[in-house]
Amino acid sequence: MANDNKQGKLYLVGLGPGEAEYLTGAAMSALRESDVVVGFRAYIEQAGDLLAGKELVSMELGQEIERATKAVELAYAGRVVSVVSSGDAGIYGMSGPVFQVLNGLDWDGHNPQVETVPGISAMQAAAALLGAPLMQDFCAISLSDLLTPWTAIEQRLKAAAQGDFVVALYNPRSRNRQWQLMEARRILLEHRSGKTPVGIVKDAFRPGQQVTITDLDGLEAIAEDINMVTTVVIGNSTTYLLQGHMATPRGYRDK
Ligand code: SAH
């Protein structure tokens, strides 16, 4: 696409959880306007036809900083670049690495222009499929200790448990990372009942979607089914079940 004044642009685009219907109009426009699209192969493929004719820079897990660097270089060279993430790019997504790269350069805040296009994050998608679990204060905790030491994650789990936050767990369990989920359960059980509802959403708004509701006691038995395309939502002390849904009242007074 012609970019006569050579003013580069970086879009940080959230693609939403999966199905094209959950990709925002603004995300579509950003992708359409872009010369280059950077992201994980699977997510890029998710955007399908929108990408016809674009230069694609696909990446594998662990290449986030390299790809962010590449995207920033292209934008400095005057290209319009979309860096895509699933869900929201600003939630455990590519926005972090891009800002990190800009932070290491003499970025003037204008050139390249940076614009974030928010997307529906996994916890919102999961909550929608479960009912209304995120109704009071809640937090997201990633159980991945790839970039964050386990001691910090443990500290956050304890604080969330003590604070009676509803908790959305991202990156709950992978082939090489299995005990963390059970450790999270153990920490939460120190402050809440075994009957606390737990919603498990796998592949939200994607083919193969699975929604399961259990409780903290029951979580152990089905932990094997939980993987990296799963978000786990753990209720607080007021969360209840209703006809196969999981809901948290708007406030404690309604309990
Ligand atoms: N930026 C993304 C999160 C990336 S971290 C977002 O805002 O949603 C990756 C984790 O997100 C996965 O391990 C999983 O916990 C969660 N996740 C992403 N897409 C999901 C989906 N469609 N269904 C369930 N969980 C999902």
Looking at ligand 1, which atom is closest to the CA of residue 209?
23
Query: What pLDDT shows up at residue 42?
Result: 77
Angle at Cα 89 formed by Cα 85 and Cα 90, nearest 5°?
A: 155
Ligand 1 pocket member 122 (CB < 6 A): yes
| Contact predicate 84/39, CB 8 Å | yes
Distances (CA, A) of 201 to 12, 93, 153, 162, 225: 25, 19, 21, 24, 11
**From ligand 1's centre to the CA of 121, what distance in Å?**
7
For residue 7, give the nearest of 70, 76, 66 by alpha carbon.
76
Looking at ligand 1, which atom is closest to the CA of residue 203?
23
Ligand 1 pocket member 87 (CB < 6 A): yes
Query: What pLDDT shows up at residue 254?
Result: 54
Query: What pLDDT shows up at residue 5?
Result: 59
This prediction's pTM: 0.94
The rounded average pLDDT for each run of 10 residues, N- to C-terminus, in the chain (255 residues) is 70 94 95 93 74 84 90 96 97 97 95 97 98 97 94 98 98 95 98 98 97 98 95 98 97 67
Looking at ligand 1, which atom is closest to the CA of residue 144?
13
Sequential DSSP letters for 176-233: TB-HHHHHHHHHHHTTS-TT-EEEEEESTTSTT-EEEEEEHHHHHHHGGG--TTEEEE
Angular region, 244: left φ>0, alpha ψ -120 to 50, beta rest: left
**From ligand 1's centre to the CA of 196, what distance in Å?**
23
Ligand 1 pocket member 17 (CB < 6 A): yes
**From ligand 1's centre to the CA of 130, what distance in Å?**
15
Characterize the bridge pairing of strands 113-117 and 9-14: parallel
**From ligand 1's centre to the CA of 91, what distance in Å?**
9
**From ligand 1's centre to the CA of 193, what distance in Å?**
27
Q: Please identify which residue in the block is written with the tokens 């662990």.
A: 62
> Ligand 1 atom 24: the closest Cα is on which residue?
230
Ligand 1 pocket member 140 (CB < 6 A): no
Say which amino acid occupies 123: M
